[in-house]
Amino acid sequence: METFSERKDLEENDRYSQDRKAVLGELDLSLIDEPIVDIVDCLASLPYCFPLQTCYGHLLCAPNQNLRSLDRIPCGYAGPVRYRIAYLALCIENSRPGRALLDSLAETSRIDPDYVQLGSADWFWKRWPNSYTLQVEPGRFMTQDEITLQFAEALHVQQIRDLFFSELRKLLVGELSGRLVDR
């Protein structure tokens, strides 16, 4: 299964409203990684997109560590780190505000183009046209959900992940402010 592919162009999707309603009807914020619940909730409030799947990005240092652990890399640790990627998958409406959001999301790669990518996932696209994945991962591994990193690179990924979600929050504040001005 292809987890990440080159970004596709937005296309017409007559099912967008029904898909959005169905997905949001199933959304359970209690299942979202706690550090990004606010991001998912905000995306769900925008009428021109809806979240599909997310992951905060788990940095695992111990062999039996909980796979959903939110722990940071411990001070003094210098071994390999198992990284379960940070990502946000969402469906975007082919509309003026949807296209603007997609362009803004693409700009987040400026944080570190070698570690932040915007693309599509073919298996999402088949079910929800105009689905995009924004992820934090070394570019050489961009098609993998889980990788093992050496300590120094894992620290860099942790830093980029934190900055990535911070930038997403700023972007979403702008989206919400724009909606209030447009009313």
Give residue-wise pLDDT tens across range 91-111: 999 999 999 999 999 999 999
* Cα→Cα distances 57→12, 137, 175, 183, Å: 32, 9, 24, 36
More confident residue, 4 or 1: 4
Reference 93, options 54, 131, 40, 121; nearest CA is: 131
Helices (H), 76-148: 96-107, 122-127
Residue 91 is given by DSSP the state E
Reference 85, options 23, 36, 39, 148; nearest CA is: 148
**Structure token digits, residue 38:** 């606010």
Give residue-wise pLDDT tens across range 148-179: 999 999 999 999 999 999 999 999 999 888 65
Distance CA 172, CA 175 (A): 5
- Please state the pTM of the whole predicted model: 0.91
Strands 49-55 and 58-60, sheet pairing: unpaired
Q: What pLDDT, on a 0 to 100 scale, did the predictor assign at position 121?
A: 79
Reference 88, options 124, 141, 114, 113; nearest CA is: 124
Give residue-wise pLDDT tens across range 60-87: 999 999 999 999 999 999 999 999 999 9
Rg for the chain (alpha carbons), in Å?
A: 16
Domain ranges within the chain, ordered by starting residue: 16-55+90-144+161-182
Q: How many residues does the chain have?
A: 183
Reference 57, options 170, 160, 141; nearest CA is: 160
Distance CA 141, CA 144 (A): 6
Give residue-wise pLDDT tens across range 10-53: 999 999 999 999 999 999 999 999 999 999 999 999 999 999 99
